[in-house]
Amino acid sequence: MLGLFKKKSEKEKLNEKYMKLLEESKRMSTSNRTEADRIMAEAEKVLDKIKAIEADEARA
């Protein structure tokens, strides 16, 4: 119950966005390969941000 009011961390938000982009890219790959590649590139940028956050957490 208390988890309902807990704010998500930046890492959790980015992870959700990354997963949504991967799903969308997979769905688009059957109909529009160019758009799927664009979405995948965006997902990789989000993944880079996640890795940067993890690196900062590891240093702290």
What pLDDT is attached to residue 6?
A: 81
What pLDDT is attached to residue 3?
A: 65
pLDDT digits (tens, 9 = 90+) for 43-54: 999 999 999 999
What pLDDT is attached to residue 5?
A: 75
Cα distance between residue 15 and residue 30, in whole Å: 24
Count of structural domains within the chain = 1
- State the chain's mean pLDDT as an integer: 92
Q: In which domain, by residue range, is 39 found? A: 8-59
Of all residues in the chain, what percent carry a pLDDT higher than 70? 95
- Phi-psi category of residue 15: left, alpha or beta, with phi > 0 → left and psi -120 to 50 → alpha: alpha
Residue 3 lies in a domain: no
Would you say residue 7 has pLDDT above 70?
yes
What pLDDT is attached to residue 55?
A: 95
